[in-house]
Amino acid sequence: MTELHLMTVAELSAALHAGRVSSVELTRALLARIERHDRALNAFISVDAESALAEAAAADARRHAGDAGPLTGVPIAHKDIFCTRGQKTTCGSRMLANFVSPYDATVVERLRAAGVVTLGKTNMDEFAMGSSNETSFFGPVRNPWDGARVPGGSSGGSAAAVAARLVPAATGTDTGGSIRQPAALCGVTGIKPTYGRVSRFGMIAFASSLDQGGVLAISAEDAALLLGAMAGFDERDSTSVELPVPDYTATLEQPLKGLKIGMLREFFAGLDPAIEQLIRAALALLHAQGAVVREVSLPNLPLSVPTYYVVAPAECSSNLARYDGVRYGHRCEQPRDLTDLYERSRGEGFGAEVKRRIMIGTYVLSAGYYDAYYLKAQQVRALIAADFERAFHEVDVVIGPTTPTTAFSLGAKSADPVTMYLSDIYTIGANLAGLPAMSVPCGLLEELPVGLQIIGPHFSEQKLLNIAHRYQCESDWHLRVPRGFG
């Protein structure tokens, strides 16, 4: 049998079902692996071995009683933005460093019901604001492929943990690329579903019209299994869409003959030729399976970065107003009065990037600037969404690179926020339009992973997972493991 840590969720599910391994044995093995490797990665903020082993024992009992599903007993990790009952939920911030959630987020609740075992909570950019996982109060996460480089953000802890095979899968959130970008930089599979497909209840808000929960895993098949358990209508989330959830695994093997792929012209302008070569090789592989590839243009897409960095900070300034030192979260010592309590609690609790975005957001929402910035950004957002809609009248999906570069060095962009923001230039458009999108590994450039991004129309997750799976049936980039973690 393949070593446990190298097995996908689908393979672990089969091994558990066949009785070749128990959930307790599997959980112990992965906990030991986290203990051995995570000091070098800092991928986890917290690990609860006692709770994980208790959940594993319950999963084994459930399986013995004949009440097991495909995910029963499979260990995963949660990004530390999902409220998890009885455990710390920090959002990578000093502001919530001691917050213990009294309830489960819907995503956590549904995965618990499916029988997964929670090993711990993964590190992240503070309040999901960042592209490198360097803004976390708990220190930066390191990329398993090269410890001197970033894993991407904000779901960098989840991506690094999966890439290093500390867990077979982990949850993440994506506001402007925060699942797909770290998935690309760490060489794993990541999917951001359609806005409203996965409940945001209990997922601590950054930008409410953009945030969406999703999955990071080894393979598209694994992502399909987990997304199927997570997705669905939730009356506690006013943005949740009331549509039935299909069986995402049922159509994975569907042939690609006749599939119309749009190659995004704007994504190839100025792209590193070596990355472009890998993307074109992936497109050639899909073409060999019967897909038709043609070039498409989204003329307003280059405006996605400035649009996003008006809309997202505006929403963050509103969402983070609740952290004032009064009800919960960090409170300063011995405040002189209420104003001092607010100012020092927020000043001490938030990091530099969060403060920067709160200030930008407050400015663009202020009287005299709302029309010039926020309203204009929402108008451009509508144009970007219309570009995608027009493209999907011509093609089934659009494909291009996930990121403009491979993983950059720790600290390389920390002093220049604008340069850092450009790391998400290829991913933001899907969030602004509320579209499903995913990244799959498609090669290595100087021993660093490169990601292929697939974007589809609303609620086309089945199609994206099918394309990704068919690609992974003909390639093995998703099975490559960083040196030292095999």
Catalytic residues: 79, 154, 178
Report the alpha-carbon angle 218-219-221, nearest 5: 135
SS3 84: coil
Pairing of strands 437-445, 189-192: antiparallel
In the block, residue with structure tokens 């491979």: 406
Bridge partners of residue 44, in order along the sequence: 122
Cα–Cα distances in Å, from 470 out to 222, 283, 462, 473? 13, 12, 12, 5
* Stretch (H or E) spanning 465: helix 461-473
Which residues, other chains included, contact 244 with Cβ-Cβ below 8 Å and sequence gap of 6+?
none
Pairing of strands 75-79, 117-122: parallel
Contact 52, 31 (CB under 8 A): yes
Question: What would you measure as the largest C-alpha separation in the chain, in angstroms?
Answer: 70
Q: What sign results for the dihedral spanned by CA atoms 471, 475, 479, 482?
A: negative
What's the rounded Cα separation, in Å, for the pair 326 and 145? 43
What's the rounded Cα separation, in Å, for the pair 217 and 225? 10
Contact 192, 301 (CB under 8 A): no
Pairing of strands 292-296, 260-264: parallel
